[in-house]
Structure 1
Amino acid sequence: MRSQLLGGILFFICFSPFLAKSLSPSLNDDVLGLIVFKADVQDPDGKLASWNEEDDSPCNNWVGVKCNPRSNRVSDLVLDGFGLSGKLGRGLLQLQFLRKLSLSKNNLTGSVTLSFAQLSDLRVLDLSENSFSGSIPSDFFTQCGSLRSISLARNKFSGPIPESLASCSALVSLNFSGNQLSGSLPLGLWALSGLRLNNLRAISLRNNRLSGEVPDGIGNCLLLRSIDLSGNSFSGRLPSTIQKLSLCNNLVLGKNGFEGDLSEWIGEMRSLESLDLSENGLSGRIPDSLGKLQSLKVLNVSKNALNGSLPESMSNCTNLLSFDISHNSLTGNLPSWIFELGLEQVLFSGNGLTGGIGNAFGSSKENSQKKVLILDVSQNKLSGEIPSSLGDFGNLQSLNMARNSFVGSIPAEIGWLKSLSVLDLSENRINGSIPSDIGSLASLNELRLEKNLLEGYIPLSIGNCAALTSLSLAHNEIAGPIPASLAKLNHLQTVDFSFNKLTGPLPKQLANLVSLRVFNISHNQLQGDLPAGAFFNTIDPSSVTGNPSLCGSAVNTTCPTVLPKPIVLNPNDTTPGGGTTTPTTLQSRFGGGKKILSISALIAIGAAASIVVGVIAITVLNLRVRGGDRDRRHPDAALTFSGGGDFSRSPSTDGESGKLVMFSGDPEFSTGTHALLNKDCELGRGGFGAVYRTMLGDGRPVAIKKLTVSSLVKSQDDFEREVKKLSKARHENLVALDGYYWTPSLQLLIYEFVSGGNLYKHLHEESSGRCLSWNERYNIVLGAARGLAHLHRTNIIHYNLKSSNILIDEGSGEIKVADYGLARLLPMLDRYVLSSKIQSALGYMAPEFACKTVKITEKCDVYGFGILVLEVLTGKRPVEYMEDDVVVLSDMVRGAVEEGRVEECVDSRMLGKFPVEEAIPVMKLGLICTSQVPSNRPDMDEVVNILEMIRRCPSQSSQDDELVPDF
């Protein structure tokens, strides 16, 4: 009584000034009603400031108010999202001509006690997205014959739906979703004899607590276009009368307790565009009649108990965009037609599908492939290899193939999926290494490859996946170090590398990962201390357990001041068992500092090497003895040209002559009696032979290489074929091969003569004179890169790259790469023989030379080039032998770079006269080229492009991670 009295007093106080002000009270009813409504609510944002009680009418400039121009009375009150709070007052009942009342998206509270029956013209009532509570009054909808749309969605209403709703005979749209309504649906609403809702087009009761069965009478609302009863507790079978709703295009019954078969009658609802029966208890097979739903765009029958295979008839659903059958008991193969429909979402996880997926992927049309955004076939029994045609799905954003039985390697074409955000291939039997192409996935947010049979190394390119937040490679056979490039992933939160074979120290740069929450490296072979940083200082000990050589507070082990240094083994040495050393014994891949080799070990290795060389020498001499007495009668120092295009040995008693071929220039030398191979004209010696200087008949000097591997050289036909191939590799940065000479016991190669000496002398011999400037060193690196790149484009591998094979033209300063491709003259590319011929290349040799199972490719040259770069920039030899230790140049530089001491590595003889912004990226490029994993090394064409870009924009290159990625 007290509240009613106070309300009456307030009503009188508010209304009395207006009653005294006008002789036409009806003209002010709207003003009075709205002012009373405003008094009952709070308006923290001042949205109702324009509502002035002094105005004669609200129809001019009152915000949210719309009037009928004829009657000048309020017809619409729309205050959506005004931030209003408080309760719904009685002032609204004064708006007798109100047709639309919309107060959605505010903070209004309390129960709704108003009887809107007094507003006989009301058509639309929207109180959604507030905080109204309590039950809906039983008379709330009494005399609501004119109401066409009601929305009480997303409030806190409870209790049953009132029977008075049946009075709303003109109702078109009903939305009570997102409340706490309970009980069963009023039967009176649906009974044919008393049907009142014959105009209903849409009904939404989703996310309430309604229960019981859906009455059969729902099928009598023939105008229904949208039904959403999801998220309740409805049970029983789907009423078959629903099939009569031929205009229905949206049927959403998910998250209930419906049971029984998915009946064939569902195919009679030809207008359906969206069908959601997910998370029920439906069983049996998917009916063939679904193929009749050619307007269907969304089908979701996930989380039921459906079985059998997908009906072929579904290939007729050509408008289907989203297909979710996940978490059922379906069997059979992935249908070949599935990617021909132009689907955007394919969700088949949690079934019993079997067989491979190659047919389905291969049969897809190009325009269909481009539409797929989400593909989930996880938790099935699929097998076979992941097809390379996966790369055709260019718009794919999420790919989940986890928990199947896929085998083979991850296709490199995975790098074509530039839009990919989630990649999950976990819990399969995938082997091989992680492709470096994974670094192309700049949008990748989550990468899960755990519980497979992966091996190899973590690719350096992982640092290019800038958006990565979660990375799991646990339970594989991955070896090698954790790449420092991982520290570039600023958004990384979760990392799991546990149960692998990772080695080496943790990169110190990982301390910069400020978003890191989990970093599990347990059960590996990592060593050294943890990075210093807030996260690693408090890391969970269980995340680092199982690494005996790790130290620090997290593992309760004190780190020694000086760590033991690993041993460097000569890659030409053999193991006691007769095999060759593995790449990991050649040198640690990324460790910094010097590598110690004891004096006794050096002596032992030297003795072993001497024995091996001796055996080879004796074998070669024996073979030559068997070749006949003529080789003993004709010393090399007396080789002369006899004219007629042939070389011969003088004096000759048997008339033997050889075949001379010149690819360009005069075939005659300056004098027929000149000793072409006179020791006084010797320029130098290498693993494949000695080099002499002589003159052609036209006065042009040439260099002649006398091969000392005659007994191992190919037959004449094969020899000539290989030599002619080498002669075609013409480039300004390559020493040109001008001709050759052949006899069974002697082979000569005739090259252009390059004055100025080789790079080794300029870098390491004091007699070479002045120190090379930065520009000269840069041009040497660039010229060598261009020469190698040209070789590789003509399918020629150098095999023997080193500073003594880089020549500098005295006149032009041009760089010339020499001695390329000579290993191809051997009958077979035997690594033992090859390594014995290029012992002077120790330090330049790629690790794969020591592994018989790894193919020797152009990437071997890239490794040697990387060493060459470091040698040019530092002025130090690739391997420095001290009194009691051995310093490996690449490891020394890598350690300095990781510690931020790059400038200290540059040749001190330049006395700081070099551009740091160029030297640092070139140094890093050299380290990248010396990666232990061949696939992680760039191609020489890429190297040339990077070098040219460094010179064009040095200031950018020193800061741009994309130009020279971390090693």
Structure 2
Amino acid sequence: MSSDGASAPIGIGVAVFVVVVVVKIGIIMYVCNKRSTMHTEKFNNDCRFIPLTMVKFLDDMEREKPIRFTSQQLRIATENFSILLGSGGFGTVYKGLFSNGTSVAVKVLNGTSDKRIEEQFMAEVSTMGRTHHFNLVRLYGFCFESSLRALVYEYMVNGSLDNHLFKASTGPIIGFEQLYEIALGTARGISYLHEECPQRIVHYDIKPGNILLDSKFCAKVADFGLAKLCNRDNTHISMTGGRGTPGYAAPELWLPLPVSHKCDVYSFGMLLFEIIGRRRNMDVRLADSQQWFPIWLWGKYEKKELNDLMIVCRIEEKDHEAVERMLKVAFCCVQYRPETRPVMSIVVKMLEGALLVPESINPFSYLFSGVNETDGSLARMAWNDGGSDWSSSDVATKSTIVTVTGTPLMRRYEITMASE
């Protein structure tokens, strides 16, 4: 009897213990499930407002490196978007600071329609989310909610190149040696996009405002709102609308000509002119002969009067060789016919001095007597490592031709003003 009495309390104790364990496990599972649900809801609370194609895109991108932030996280980091860094056609940029001390630039996208915003968002995230290069701005993450579409980039202490070339800057004046390194770094970044990425990326909007400078004034190519991914085998790109900034956009972007990655090469050449002169290529405040800088530069180069250039641009004698090299590379880049422009890896080698820069033919002859039809087969072979870069089988045409307005010189040379 005493044995049975002793075993009863033991049995009851075991039962109570089992019940307690089961209850605890149930509570843990409930809490974990709740947290998982909250986490999912936090990012998908507005899924009913997001098209299925965008949902799939976001899921794909979450498997890449960028972090998906919430609107609340970005509002906290930016102090409710109170520190404005700048704005442009594709968005407004604010400075942010995360709790771990990382400074960021948060670009809030804007546009005339949700579809346009989504296109900008996908263009930037799909390109920058998959690229990793020293001369490309780094994308930390993104936010895509009904109330906020934003991109989170690394913060560039020294801002954009245009602020140092054209505008009164309170920061240090960049010497020509540093400008040369900025040009070289920019070329390396574009070369990576064109020739080293798994899919070729065409930027379409290379200009000083889209070249950012870090604390050491190293160049980082930024703003991929117009960028387009394309297979490396495709020699032509289908265009559904005009791209680029007037003054930097290649002729094929606004004329019925084939479009390829060579449009970025043209824009880079126009950028080189502005770096050399520390001025905009078009300046209506100057005398007619100097209003469009590239034509003036060609005249000095053709007449072997580069000393005039050195004086006007206040370039020191020690930089003479580098300036002449940059100038010759720029003339190669802005050739009218895309197939006679070098690929960016060749541009890099020429700027580095590893390849001799050939004497260029007049890139602006088409402005005076129609398009120059000089046989460019030798240039094509040199620029494209032995073969033509495109064929005539896939021509993208546009129906809109830019209407030229402005000064008599601008109308004469079909020049459009670059936007600020």
Taking structure 2 as the reference length, what is the TM-score of the superposition?
Answer: 0.62
Point out where structure 2 has 5 or more consecutive residues left out of the alignment: 1-37, 230-237, 362-420
Where does residue 358 of structure 2 map in the other structure? Answer: 964
1:830 shift after superposition: 3.4
1:921 shift after superposition: 1.7
Give the Cα separation in 2 of the matches to 1:707 and 1:904. Answer: 45
1:808 shift after superposition: 1.0
Where does residue 202 of structure 2 map in the other structure? Answer: 797
**Candidates 806, 820, 823, aligned match of 2:224:** 820
**Candidates 184, 187, 205, aligned match of 1:785:** 187
Is the CA contact (8 Å cut-off) linking 1:773 and 1:910 kept in structure 2? no
2:314 corresponds to 1:927: no
Where does residue 873 of structure 1 map in the other structure? Answer: 276
**Candidates 680, 688, 713, aligned match of 2:115:** 713
Give the Cα separation in 1 of the matches to 2:224 and 2:74. Answer: 30
Q: What does 1:323-722 align with in structure 2 at a 5 Å threshold?
A: 644=39, 663-664=65-66, 667=69, 674=76, 676=78, 678=80, 680-709=82-111, 711=113, 713=115, 720=122
1:829 shift after superposition: 4.3
Give the Cα separation in 2 of the matches to 1:847 and 1:757. Answer: 29
Is the CA contact (8 Å cut-off) linking 1:647 and 1:657 kept in structure 2? no
Where does residue 11 of structure 2 map in the other structure? Answer: none
* Deviation digits for residues 435-487 of structure 1 (CA, Å, limit 9, x no counterpart): xxxxxxxxxxxxxxxxxxxxxxxxxxxxxxxxxxxxxxxxxxxxxxxxxxxxx
Q: Classify 1:719/1:920 alpha carbon distance in 2 versus 1 (closer, same or farther; 3 Å).
A: closer
1:722 shift after superposition: 6.7
Where does residue 22 of structure 1 map in the other structure? Answer: none
Give the Cα separation in 1 of the matches to 2:40 and 2:92. Answer: 23
Where does residue 761 of structure 1 map in the other structure? Answer: 163
SS of equivalent residue, structure 1 residue 767? coil
1:816 shift after superposition: 0.6
Q: What does 1:117-128 align with in structure 2 at a 5 Å threshold?
A: none
1:663 shift after superposition: 2.7
Is the CA contact (8 Å cut-off) linking 1:873 and 1:907 kept in structure 2? no
Amino acid across the alignment from 1:784: T
SS of equivalent residue, structure 2 residue 113? helix
Amino acid across the alignment from 1:680: S
Q: Which has the higher helix share?
A: 2
Give the Cα separation in 2 of the matches to 1:856 and 1:712. Answer: 27
* Deviation digits for residues 523-581 of structure 1 (CA, Å, limit 9, x no counterpart): xxxxxxxxxxxxxxxxxxxxxxxxxxxxxxxxxxxxxxxxxxxxxxxxxxxxxxxxxxx
Is the CA contact (8 Å cut-off) linking 1:780 and 1:815 kept in structure 2? yes
Amino acid across the alignment from 1:797: V
SS of equivalent residue, structure 2 residue 183? helix
Give the Cα separation in 1 of the matches to 2:74 and 2:294. Answer: 50
SS of equivalent residue, structure 1 residue 683? strand
1:728 shift after superposition: 1.2
Across the aligned residues of Structure 1 and Structure 2, the Cα RMSD in angstroms comes to 3.6
Where does residue 617 of structure 1 map in the other structure? Answer: none
2:254 corresponds to 1:850: yes
Give the Cα separation in 2 of the matches to 1:721 and 1:865. Answer: 20
Give the Cα separation in 2 of the matches to 1:891 and 1:689. Answer: 34
Amino acid across the alignment from 1:831: G
Is the CA contact (8 Å cut-off) linking 1:668 and 1:697 kept in structure 2? no
Amino acid across the alignment from 2:212: L
Is the CA contact (8 Å cut-off) linking 2:203 and 2:228 kept in structure 1? no
**Candidates 248, 264, 268, aligned match of 1:861:** 264
Is the CA contact (8 Å cut-off) linking 2:109 and 2:121 kept in structure 1? no
Give the Cα separation in 2 of the matches to 1:829 and 1:843. Answer: 19
Give the Cα separation in 2 of the matches to 1:765 and 1:715. Answer: 30
Number of equivalences: 301
1:926 shift after superposition: 0.7
Give the Cα separation in 2 of the matches to 1:739 and 1:656. Answer: 22
* Deviation digits for residues 322-357 of structure 1 (CA, Å, limit 9, x no counterpart): xxxxxxxxxxxxxxxxxxxxxxxxxxxxxxxxxxxx
Is the CA contact (8 Å cut-off) linking 1:783 and 1:815 kept in structure 2? yes
Sequence identity, in percent? 31
1:879 shift after superposition: 1.2
1:701 shift after superposition: 1.5
Is the CA contact (8 Å cut-off) linking 2:68 and 2:141 kept in structure 1? no
2:198 corresponds to 1:776: no
Q: Classify 1:747/1:670 alpha carbon distance in 2 versus 1 (closer, same or farther; 3 Å).
A: closer
Amino acid across the alignment from 1:800: D
SS of equivalent residue, structure 1 residue 796? strand
1:742 shift after superposition: 2.0
SS of equivalent residue, structure 2 residue 201? coil
Give the Cα separation in 2 of the matches to 1:883 and 1:918. Answer: 26
Q: Which has the higher strand share?
A: 1
